[in-house]
Structure 1
Amino acid sequence: MRLFFALPCPDQVAARIVSWRDGLALDGSPVRAENLHVTLAFPGLQPADKLPALIRLAASIEASAFLLQLDQLRCWADGLLHLAPGKRPGALLNLASQLQQKLDAEGFKLDQREYLPHLSLARNCTVPVSVAPPAFCWKVEEFALFHSQSRPGGVHYEALASWKLQLAE
């Protein structure tokens, strides 16, 4: 199973992002609205018998809900066009850090690169991006464990479990 933890993009926000992105007339392969997310940690290929440990590990996370504003449009050298937060919320960094530490403690091997939160818009883009993005924002109140599955119509992400974040009082 190809697994990852992520913040699912709410349907209404995803629809607005896709509408805006499609108006840019970019090349490349657009990410489908239902697949929009911000990855927190990527355990990658795992046998199905590791699923209970991942679910138990995620259930032990104590993190607060937060506002996520994606206000930077960027394209990496590999052609991944994405939105990113200009200012990374501390609660987001805490959530990702907790997940990564717990995964590491349980023996799951993760990429050791710096965590750069982003929402992928399209792959294999070659057009330089020179538009100012609008600010897309939502209150993040949960995170989920997703299973990435290749299908004839493209990749599909299925949420296997989700966990609520603590609301501020």
Structure 2
Amino acid sequence: MVRAAPTSPAPRAPRPSAPEDRTLRLFFALKVPGDVATPLAEAQRNLRGNWRAVRADQFHVTLAYLPTVPPERVDDLKRLGARLTEDLAPMQVRLRGTGYFPNEGSPRVWFVKVEAEGLDALAAALRDGIHALGLKTDDLPFKAHITLARKKGPAPRVPPLTFELGWQAGNAALIRSTLRKTGPIYDTESTFRLRGTEPEHAPQPAPHSPPPTPEETP
């Protein structure tokens, strides 16, 4: 009796490779000026254990976060930001006490609270406008804050601090976040000047200085 030779299983077709994720992580925010960022950075000296401090040049107040944005929709977001900020007056931003997210019982983020008249309304308008464009934002309720550090392992709590600091916010920005092993890299996609705010590069005239005569003009 002749036995049939065992047949080898047919080779499996290779799985199609997953499409490359080309979406961007973007957020609208108020940037923190250097004279406010410096004392906040000094407060980070209180960190112990596995707290990872946020770089001072990355301090900001997030207004709306978009985790997945197709590159071709960035211009839509730039137009949205320009439209919603063009009639806004500069905001007087005030810093208050520190706190934790999600709560003091299981802290993962150490932050300082932020207050400004009109800030909640701007954040809500941005999120509504983003959704109207068919794009997604995160589901977290808006709580104005500046993140100072993130917890990466066991670490003691930071003593509570209160800041009597503030600044006049004359600009908002659309920022791209690129994740790296060393931390996120932020690049500004667009800056939106609030009504009545001078461009950042424009020199301010000296107080009470008369305009130059034609002979004095260089």
Q: Same fold (TM over 0.5)?
A: yes
Instruction: Structure 2 unaligned segments of length 5 or more: list them.
Output: 1-23, 198-218
Measured on the aligned residues, the alpha-carbon RMSD in Å equals 1.8
Question: In the alignment, what sits opposite 1:15?
Answer: 38
Moved more, 115-124 or 75-84: 75-84
Q: Any stretches of 5+ residues in structure 1 without a counterpart?
A: none
Structure 1 residues 165 and 112: alpha-carbon distance in aligned structure 2, compared to 1, 3 A threshold: same
**What is the deviation of 1:151?**
3.4
Q: Tell me the distance in 2 between the aligned counterparts of 1:100 and 1:35.
A: 22
Residues 17 and 136, structure 1, Cα contact 8 Å, conserved in 2: no
Task: Please name the residue that 1:122 is paired with.
Answer: 149
Match of 1:26 among 43, 48, 53: 48
Aligned length: 165
**Aligned-pair CA distance for 1:14:** 1.2
- Superposition deviation, residue 127 in structure 1: 2.0
Question: Deviation string for 1:7-34 (max 9, x for gaps)?
Answer: 1111221122102222x13331000111
The residue type paired with residue 6 of structure 1 is A
5 Å-filtered alignment, 1:10-159, equals 10-22=33-45, 24-27=46-49, 28-61=51-84, 62-76=87-101, 77-85=106-114, 88-124=115-151, 126-151=155-180, 153-159=182-188
For 2:143 and 2:42, how far apart are their aligned partners in 1?
24
Contact 2:54 2:149 in 1 (8 A): yes
Residue 166 of structure 1 deviates from its aligned partner by: 2.1
Q: Deviations over 1:146-165 (max 9, x none)?
A: 01112354211111101011
Higher relative contact order (CA 8 A, sep 6+): 1
SS for the counterpart of 1:68 is strand
Judge conservation of contact 1:65–1:166 (CA < 8 Å) in 2. yes
User: Which of the two has greater strand per residue?
Assistant: 1
Residue aligned with 1:55, SS? helix
Asked whether the 8 Å contact 1:42–1:110 carries over to 2, the reply is yes
Deviations 1:45-80 (A, max 9, x none): 212111111111111113221111111100123410
Distance (Å, rounded) in 2 between the aligned partners of 1:26 and 1:6: 28
Greater CA deviation, 140-149 or 119-128? Answer: 119-128
Provide the C-alpha distance between the structure 2 equivalents of 1:55 and 1:124, rounded to a whole number of angstroms.
Answer: 33
Q: Between Structure 1 and Structure 2, whose CA radius of gyration is higher?
A: 2
TM-score by structure 2 length? Answer: 0.70
